[in-house]
Structure 1
């Protein structure tokens, strides 16, 4: 187990190094950063001063070394728009995105896992077929359209829920959270449901497929032959074994919820990182863009590492392979 974890840590380091190259080339090399970052109305002397201040007059290898040095120190430069450190601007918006992603993932797991388990155990029932039919809609309907329909129905027509902003927040460990206040929960509910729709369908269908595969295995038949109760067979033998692929999807999809919640945050005016990165791209705020991209890289490789540890704990074959 230790050997496999060390191997994964080395692979993770290589992935992060490769992504620093890609991010640096994408932001600093492709196109002409001078034309992008500097106001065209400046005269030549002012342009030269700005180029020198940004370090764009240095060779690329020197710029890359400065880029790596800044990353290791957590220094992504100051935002061109907010006039503050880019990492500080990102971290200020991080709690809102984390809260939205966590709420959406909890909804997806609480709804998708039991329904997928039921549909897999009783595939011939009409209710199971109805569940699978509805899950297709979760895959098919565009997120932005569902978000607009939610706003039209629950905010405009019925007036049950607000459609914009984060609402009232309360402090916990020095961080503002919406789920701690009734007004914040009402603001959180619509965007979380919108963001959870696709993930719920994905977990549901994956769970159903896993149940149908595991239920045919010999150890399940043997457990039934021993006279074990159906609830014990489901919880101990079926659920534990189908959780291996489900854990992978949950981990990766949680990362995607954080990284790609741009559409949902834009529709509902949710003040998270997704809305921030859209504004930064429109305003060409390079330090914020770089900080966001590198945070997403670190997030995904960390989630993959945690998933590998969960694999090892859930599947004895992985531990045996590591010993081998």
Structure 2
């Protein structure tokens, strides 16, 4: 286990190095940050002097070396708009984004497992065909269209749910705010969480169904039937456990992907999270904030994948994490 963690740490360092280079290199293609900082009234001479002062005229390698050295000390630059460390600005928005991801994950697990298992056990039933039909439609519908539809139905027509914002929040340990601790916050979570879940829910239903159907055709399941084991024991103990192994692998990657997908959901619902902040940073050409966002999201992917590998090794004892025989 220790050897595996050391190996993954080394891989994580390489991945984060590549992400940092890519993130830092695209900032010159986003526009001139001085346009937002000083406006149009400043002369060209003053602009050039300010660019020299900020180091924007330095060669790329010099700029990146300065950025990397600061990043090793937790400094990803200072936001041009907020006049605060970019990492601090992002971390303030992180709890709101994780609220959406956590809520959407609960919805995906709560619906995809029973629906996928039922569709695999009863593939010819009418309900299974309806579920698979909806899953096909769900994959095809863009997330922003789902969000707009939910707002129109449940907020405008029925008036059951709020259509934007985060609502009241509670605090954990005195510094981490979450909408899960208040009734108003939970009400504001429902529509954006279902919208975000709509991206992955159809995929997981179909994945669980196909994996379950494949497992049910395996030899050890046939042997279990021959032994006369109860159907529930065969379905939910023997078959489901092995069905979930590839689902865990795919699920971990997709949960990390949802952090990036929150951009559209947060925009539709005006949710004050990292995705909404990222779009505002692009509009303002706030390059330190853009680079810091990409690095933080990359770090979330790396951490998520490492945790998934550990969980996979614990669930499936036949997997050797550190490659021994």
Say yes or no: does 1:264 pair with 2:265: yes
Per-residue deviation, 1:120:
0.7
| Separation (CA, whole Å) in 1 of partners of 2:146 and 2:301 | 27
Secondary structure, counterpart of 2:97 in structure 1: helix
Contact map agreement 1:34 1:51 (CA 8 A) in 2: no
Per-residue deviation, 1:40:
4.9
Q: Residue 165 of structure 1 corresponds to which residue in structure 2?
A: 165
Per-residue deviation, 1:316:
3.2
For residues 266-322 of structure 1, give each alpha carbon's deviation from its aligned partner in whole angstroms, at most 9, with x where no partner exists. Answer: 111111111100111001111110110000111111111112112222223322882
Q: Residue 43 of structure 2 corresponds to which residue in structure 1?
A: 43
Moved more, 311-320 or 126-135: 311-320
Q: Residue 282 of structure 2 corresponds to which residue in structure 1?
A: 281
* TM-score, structure 2 as length reference: 0.93
* TM-score, structure 1 as length reference: 0.93
Contact map agreement 2:3 2:322 (CA 8 A) in 1: no
Task: Say how many residue pairs are matched.
Answer: 323
Say yes or no: does 1:203 pair with 2:204: yes
| Separation (CA, whole Å) in 2 of partners of 1:82 and 1:144 | 28
Q: Residue 254 of structure 1 corresponds to which residue in structure 2?
A: 255
Q: 1:58 to 1:95 in 2, by over 3 A?
A: same
Secondary structure, counterpart of 1:171 in structure 2: strand
1:126-165 mapped onto 2 (5 Å cutoff)? 126-165=126-165
Contact map agreement 1:3 1:322 (CA 8 A) in 2: no
| Separation (CA, whole Å) in 2 of partners of 1:305 and 1:167 | 33
| Separation (CA, whole Å) in 2 of partners of 1:145 and 1:107 | 19
Moved more, 271-280 or 37-46: 37-46
Per-residue deviation, 1:48:
3.2
Q: Residue 25 of structure 2 corresponds to which residue in structure 1?
A: 25
Contact map agreement 2:97 2:273 (CA 8 A) in 1: yes
Q: Residue 77 of structure 1 corresponds to which residue in structure 2?
A: 77
CA RMSD of aligned residues (A): 2.0
Q: 1:183 to 1:319 in 2, by over 3 A?
A: same
Q: 1:223 to 1:5 in 2, by over 3 A?
A: farther
1:114-133 mapped onto 2 (5 Å cutoff)? 114-133=114-133
| Separation (CA, whole Å) in 1 of partners of 2:203 and 2:178 | 28
Per-residue deviation, 1:35:
6.7
Q: Residue 193 of structure 2 corresponds to which residue in structure 1?
A: 192
For residues 40-86 of structure 1, give each alpha carbon's deviation from its aligned partner in whole angstroms, at most 9, with x where no partner exists. Answer: 54224422332133212333222111111121111112111111111
Contact map agreement 2:79 2:288 (CA 8 A) in 1: yes
Secondary structure, counterpart of 2:323 in structure 1: helix
| Separation (CA, whole Å) in 1 of partners of 2:321 and 2:178 | 43
Moved more, 218-227 or 2-11: 2-11
Q: 1:2 to 1:216 in 2, by over 3 A?
A: farther
Q: Residue 65 of structure 2 corresponds to which residue in structure 1?
A: 65
| Separation (CA, whole Å) in 2 of partners of 1:31 and 1:129 | 47
| Separation (CA, whole Å) in 1 of partners of 2:60 and 2:290 | 19
Secondary structure, counterpart of 2:181 in structure 1: coil
Q: Residue 230 of structure 1 corresponds to which residue in structure 2?
A: 231
Q: 1:181 to 1:245 in 2, by over 3 A?
A: same
Per-residue deviation, 1:5:
4.2
| Separation (CA, whole Å) in 2 of partners of 1:196 and 1:32 | 34
| Separation (CA, whole Å) in 2 of partners of 1:131 and 1:54 | 57
Structure 2 alignment gaps of length 5 or more: none
Contact map agreement 1:164 1:269 (CA 8 A) in 2: yes
Per-residue deviation, 1:221:
1.4
Per-residue deviation, 1:236:
2.5
| Separation (CA, whole Å) in 1 of partners of 2:315 and 2:23 | 35
| Separation (CA, whole Å) in 2 of partners of 1:41 and 1:219 | 77
Secondary structure, counterpart of 1:319 in structure 2: coil
